[in-house]
Structure 1
Amino acid sequence: MKKVVIIATGGTIAMKKNNSGKSSPAIFGEKLIESVPCIREIADFEIVNFSNFASCNMSPENLIRLAKKVEDILKNKDINGIVITHGTDTVEESAFFLELTIDDERPIIFTAAQRDASEIDSDGPRNIKNAARIATDERAKNRGVMVSLNEEIFGALYVQKTHTSNIKTFSSGEMGMIGYVDIDKICFYNFQKSKIKFKIPENFPVVIPIMAFTGMDSNLIEFCVRSGARGIVIEAFGRGNVPPELEDGILFAREKKIPVVITSRCYNGRVLPVYSYKGGSSRLKDFGCIFSEGLSTAKSRLLLGLALTQTDDSSEIQDIFTNILC
């Protein structure tokens, strides 16, 4: 029988209602497995209790620890795959980080739940079972890190949480699903893998994401630069435009050789240098800003941080963003 390691990190999937009726951490990996009927028929399971907290606690330091744990587990060639139970709030970031730092053909599947284990219709057990099925499927190899909930399978590069509570919350927008968990088999449609891999860093550089808003001035960017930020990600409007008053702050950061990545508040589409007014995307590109190529702000922050462990040259970092998709 195939062997699968389940790494439990916490999240709603591992929570129950407390005496006040609010969800809080309550369940470790062993109880998660017990909640899934017939799961022992799928594989032999080893449980690793990595943590038991809400995923808003998954700091860069914890991501580094998680990546090292996965890397260590995969040294055992008898392991067929890894399932990581996680909170939905930041699962897309954790999956993305592992996609960029783990180089192994065996499947790694993140799963989670929108309804805690107290709910009579909790989605956790089914999601765990489906993730285990993916982990033991030969066709799941060489597909990179995946996120699977609600029968859907997404690549780590573009998946995002889109609804606060609905179980159909994850989407990769225009990039689409990479597969579907059906009753009789796992159906795979396409590949979405990173062709760029980084060594797991010992420390994560300080990268600050900033959301642009109308009437915004440059004070916040200047504060971040003076406080030691090594990189800045600006979530701009539309095609990558910002208020004109913000342009001076971007220039200030660039003069200090701080890489600045431009993303968009729009869920779909790319930022592109097509507007030339003050604060327009074309001018930002002329200043040497890096364009995110459709990655979200949260993922751009992680990619910029990892890129900074190799280089602080903005043109080289732009190449990383441009060429990430395999």
Structure 2
Amino acid sequence: MKKIKVITTGGTIAMGEDKSTHQIVPKLSGEELLSHVPQLKNMAKLDLIQYTNLDSSQLTPQMIWDLAKLVEGSLAEEEISGVLITHGTDTLEETAYLLDLLLDTTKPVVITGALRSFNQLSSDGEANLVQSLQTIIEPHSKNKGVLVVLNNQIHAARFVSKLHTNKLTAFSSVNTGPIGYIDHCGVNYFYDLTKQITIRPEKLEERIEIIKLSIGSDDKLIQAALDYGYKGLILEGFGLGTLPKNISSGLIRAKEEEIPIVVTSRCLEGRVYNLYGASIGGANIAKMDIIFAGNLNSTKARLALMLLLGEGLSKNEIRRYFGFKLKM
């Protein structure tokens, strides 16, 4: 029987109802969570660590950085065959992606959570825990990077996003579809992945923010971010990566101050690249030293930029990572 490290961080999967307010709040310790699913002990030897017990909206990049070190230490134990992390769904995709960039391992690392707590009707926590453990102990799950298992589906960290606030089908890999699924016959994979690169700076550069653009947006938020000392910005632009001309002054200032501006799309699917020649379309954006983020969404682009700036890379080096080094 394989030995699996289980690291709990909180989230809906470990929540219950507060009888006085009738709101869902953190309730279950790691031990209590596992006790709700006794079947797990028949599947593998479980070694539990409760890292924290928070709603994932309260986590920070530094906490995930520290979690990565904990996971790395666990994977270094020879008898550990893989790691299962329980997590809130609000920021699960961000934790998964940051861990995917930080960890270099062939052992399976799976993150799961729940859209409904154990006290709610049709709670999904039990099934997600069982299927996550099934995925880890499946031999074909090795060397696939960090995986997200929810609602019978297996997603690659680089592709997955939360698209609905509370449906059981909230998570999807919009450009690719899930990498696999779990059914009565076991774990099945549709395709293999190119190995993700590993970025291991000595620190995170957390002074990165996202600015979402809409029709008629100006550069006030860009200017404010530069005034406050932000070291990089992610812009959610239109379509293929076009931006309104009203933000030109902010972009010029960022270029002069050597602050990287990474452009993503507010569209859910597709990628951004240099095509349109509008007054500040993709072709003119390139002249302003803007970096296109490929098919990464804004939250994942932000995390990648935190690592790349933490590594001390130049804008041209960062451009190469977003251009072809990062696996998307």
Please indicate the TM-score interval, normalised by the length of the shorter structure.
over 0.9
Conserved? CA contact 2:26–2:55, under 8 Å: yes
Paired AA for residue 10 in structure 2? G
User: 2:105 is matched with which residue?
Assistant: 104
Conserved? CA contact 2:56–2:90, under 8 Å: yes
Normalization by structure 1: what TM-score?
0.97
Q: Provide Cα deviations, 1:244-278, integer angstroms capped at 9, x if missing partner.
A: 10122111111110011000000111112111222
User: 2:65 is matched with which residue?
Assistant: 64
Conserved? CA contact 2:8–2:49, under 8 Å: yes
Conserved? CA contact 1:264–1:297, under 8 Å: yes
Aligned partners of 1:172, 1:201: CA distance in 2, in Å?
A: 31
Out of 80-89 and 36-45, give the one that drifted further: 36-45
The count of corresponding residues between Structure 1 and Structure 2 is: 326
Is residue 23 from structure 1 mapped to residue 24 from structure 2 by the alignment?
yes
SS for the counterpart of 2:97 is helix
Paired AA for residue 56 in structure 2? S
User: 2:2 is matched with which residue?
Assistant: 2
Aligned partners of 2:202, 2:208: CA distance in 1, in Å?
A: 14
Q: How much does 1:205 deviate?
A: 3.4
Conserved? CA contact 2:143–2:195, under 8 Å: no
Matches within 5 A, 1:129-144: 129-144=130-145
SS for the counterpart of 1:104 is coil
Q: Provide Cα deviations, 1:136-191, integer angstroms capped at 9, x if missing partner.
A: 11110000000010000000001000111100111111211111011121001123
Q: Provide Cα deviations, 1:85-143, integer angstroms capped at 9, x if missing partner.
A: 00111100000000000101000000010001211321001100110111111110000
Paired AA for residue 235 in structure 2? I
Is residue 84 from structure 1 mapped to residue 85 from structure 2 by the alignment?
yes
Aligned partners of 2:212, 2:121: CA distance in 1, in Å?
A: 38
Matches within 5 A, 1:1-326: 1-19=1-19, 20-199=21-200, 201-322=202-323, 323-325=325-327
- Structure 2: which 5+ residue stretches go unaligned? none
Q: How much does 1:32 deviate?
A: 1.4
SS for the counterpart of 2:310 is coil
Aligned partners of 1:84, 1:154: CA distance in 2, in Å?
A: 14
Normalization by structure 2: what TM-score?
0.96
Conserved? CA contact 1:144–1:193, under 8 Å: no
Conserved? CA contact 1:68–1:200, under 8 Å: no
Aligned partners of 1:197, 1:150: CA distance in 2, in Å?
A: 28
Out of 311-320 and 182-191, give the one that drifted further: 311-320
Q: How much does 1:200 deviate?
A: 5.4
Aligned partners of 2:164, 2:272: CA distance in 1, in Å?
A: 23
Out of 172-181 and 258-267, give the one that drifted further: 172-181
Aligned partners of 1:273, 1:65: CA distance in 2, in Å?
A: 37
Percent identical residues: 34
Paired AA for residue 250 in structure 1? L
Q: Provide Cα deviations, 1:264-305, integer angstroms capped at 9, x if missing partner.
A: 000111112111222312211221111111001000000011
Conserved? CA contact 1:254–1:287, under 8 Å: yes
Inter-CA distance 149–35: structure 2 relative to 1 (3 Å threshold): same
